[in-house]
């Protein structure tokens, strides 16, 4: 949807609209920073001459960061603060949404989840103000099951005790319910533990020939270290958190331990090819610089991270702007919420993004692919029909 290019001579007033980013900036900075940067990039593009003009009002979009520190209690408090600041929307990593959505809903403020995929987080009927542009746990878990079970693997299902891990465990339980014989163990990993050797030993003794770890990045790294230091060279599979730079940073002294790690995530490119995503990545790079992973390939090349979760945040802000335009501004918050069901935009990777009365999900479950690490970079696997059709996204910093 095209937006007015500036406030113009007919503007009657100017307002500041706060877009709150509620994420764990101190505990999982990669996810939080990319969400905030994606929102900032979209807000900057929408504001011609410094403002977004809708009707007779000029709006200045201000992206504010609220650190959850991984705590659901803090996340709820942050939403209360965002409501007190009359935020027009909350971009949320997902922590604490089960408790915070009602506070936002009472103020008619939409929450856009752009990372966690928990099935219970989004409910069209019960949580009409909660939307998501990110892969769902349901889609990722079922894709993992259909990918792994035919391989004849005996799989230990591990999850951490965070909300992210607990939601993932529920999705995995459903996905593997038709093939219980493929699961050798279900083990909880304590997020605060410094050594996960006892849990990985239990997984090994269960007869597992593969480990699926649904956990936040620090726990995935500790699980991989525990397995490899004991000499267990079992294949590891993860949800999107496996691609977090922190995993590779923690294993920088043993890059060979990362080789073979396979994660499932939402595909970065659409049917239109790589052009839309590369154009978005170039804009992101120009605005914020290359996102260095902090590790090198064996040839000494610096590894950089594609802006995956920035893309989802960027898309949600653009959907929100289209809804504001459709509602004629931000004054009637009920009207803005309703308009979110009616607008569609072309997303950063070329996919259409939008919601309707029957679905508040902006990424379809079929768009999940698998990628495998080798030499500190990843590429789509070749033994999955969807993944094998996808291009390799460059992750090497160009030499100056």
Query: Do the domains 13-135+309-366 and 137-267+369-389 sit in the same CATH topology, yes or no?
Result: yes
With a cut of 80, say whether residue 8 has pLDDT above it.
no
- Residue 171 — pLDDT band, cuts 50, 70, 90? very high
The answer to whether the beta carbons of residues 168 and 149 sit under 8 Å apart is no
Residue 235: pLDDT over 60? yes
Cα dist. 152→63, 181, 214, 357 in Å? 48, 10, 20, 41
- The third-level CATH classification (topology) of the domain covering 137-267+369-389 is Rossmann fold (3.40.50)
pLDDT at 68 over 60: yes
Give percent of the chain above pLDDT 70.
97
Pairwise CA distance, residues 115 & 136, whole Å:
9
Q: Mean pLDDT, the chain, as a whole number?
A: 94
pLDDT of residue 98: 95
> Smallest Cα–Cα separation from 318: which of 67, 7, 89?
89
Q: Is the pLDDT score of 88 beyond 60?
A: yes
Distance separating alpha carbons of residues 21 and 2, to the nearest angstrom: 25
Determine how many CB atoms are found less than 10 A away from the CB of residue 151: 12
Report CA 213 to chain centroid distance, whole Å: 17
Work out the pLDDT band at 345, boundaries 50, 70, 90.
very high
Contact 90, 71 (CB under 8 A): no
Three-state secondary structure string covering 151-204: HCCCEEEEEECCHHHHHHHHHHHHHCCCCHHHEEEEEEECCCCCCCHHHHHHHH
In the chain, the percentage of residues whose pLDDT exceeds 90 is 91
172-201 tens-digit pLDDT: 999 999 999 999 999 999 999 999 999 999
9 has pLDDT over 80:
no
Backbone angles phi and psi of 59, in degrees to 5: -110, 135
Q: Lowest mean pLDDT of 123-132, 212-221, 389-398, name the range.
A: 389-398
State yes or no: pLDDT of 275 exceeds 80: yes
Domain 13-135+309-366 coded CATH 3.40.50.2300: yes
Residue 272 has pLDDT above 90, yes or no: no
Per-residue pLDDT of 73-84, as tens digits, reads 999 999 999 999
Residue 259 tokens, joined: 């080789």
CA 241 from centroid of its chain's CA atoms: 8
Amino acid 80: pLDDT: 98
What pLDDT does residue 270 have?
84
Whether 10 has a pLDDT exceeding 50, the answer reads no
Tell me what the mean pLDDT of segment 29-51 comes to.
93
Q: What is the mean pLDDT of residues 375-400?
A: 93
Domain ranges of the chain: 13-135+309-366, 137-267+369-389
Using left for φ > 0, alpha for ψ between -120 and 50, and beta otherwise, residue 329 falls in: left
Look at residue 55 and tell me whether its pLDDT is greater than 90.
no
Confidence at residue 400, expressed as pLDDT on a 0 to 100 scale: 63
Region 376-395: what's the mean pLDDT? 96
Among the residue ranges 23-32, 47-56, 130-139, 210-219, the one predicted with the least confidence is 47-56
pLDDT band at 399 (very low <50, low <70, confident <90, very high): confident
């Amino acid at each position: 949807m095209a937006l007015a290019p500036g406030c113009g001579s007919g503007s009657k007033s100017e307002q500041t609209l706060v877009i709150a980013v509620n994420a764990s900036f101190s505990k999982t900075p990669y996810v939080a920073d990319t969400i905030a940067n994606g929102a900032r990039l979209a807000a900057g593009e929408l504001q011609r001459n410094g403002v977004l003009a809708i009707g007779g009002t000029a709006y200045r979009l201000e992206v504010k960061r609220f650190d959850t520190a991984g705590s659901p209690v803090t996340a709820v408090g942050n939403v209360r603060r965002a409501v007190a600041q009359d935020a027009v929307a909350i971009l949320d990593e997902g922590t604490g949404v089960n408790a915070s959505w009602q506070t936002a809903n009472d103020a008619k403020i939409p929450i856009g989840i752009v990372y966690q995929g928990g099935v219970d987080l989004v409910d069209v009927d019960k949580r009409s103000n909660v939307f998501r542009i990110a892969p769902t746990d349901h889609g990722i878990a079922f894709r993992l099951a259909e990918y792994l079970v035919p391989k004849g693997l005996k799989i230990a299902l591990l999850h951490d005790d965070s909300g992210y891990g607990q939601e993932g465990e529920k999705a995995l339980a459903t996905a593997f319910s038709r093939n219980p014989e493929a699961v050798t163990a279900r083990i909880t990993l304590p997020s605060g533990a410094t050594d996960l050797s006892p849990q990985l030993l239990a997984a090994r003794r269960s007869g597992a020939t593969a480990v699926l770890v649904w956990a936040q990045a620090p726990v995935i790294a500790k699980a991989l270290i525990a397995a490899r230091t004991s000499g267990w060279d079992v294949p590891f599979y993860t949800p999107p958190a496996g691609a977090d730079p922190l995993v590779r940073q923690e294993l920088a002294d043993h890059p060979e331990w990362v080789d073979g790690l396979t994660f499932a995530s939402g595909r970065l490119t659409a049917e239109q090819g790589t052009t839309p995503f590369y154009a978005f990545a170039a804009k992101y790079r120009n605005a914020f610089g290359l996102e260095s992973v902090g590790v090198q390939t064996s040839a000494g090349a610096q590894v950089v991270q594609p802006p995956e979760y920035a893309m989802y945040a960027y898309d949600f802000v653009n959907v929100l702007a289209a809804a504001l335009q459709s509602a004629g501004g931000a004054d009637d918050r009920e009207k803005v919420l309703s308009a979110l069901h009616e607008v569609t935009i072309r997303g950063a990777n070329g996919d259409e993004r939008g919601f309707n009365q029957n679905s508040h999900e902006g990424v379809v479950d079929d768009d999940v692919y698998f990628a495998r690490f080798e030499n500190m970079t990843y590429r789509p696997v070749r033994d999955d029909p969807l993944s094998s059709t996808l291009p390799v996204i460059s992750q090497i910093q160009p030499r100056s």
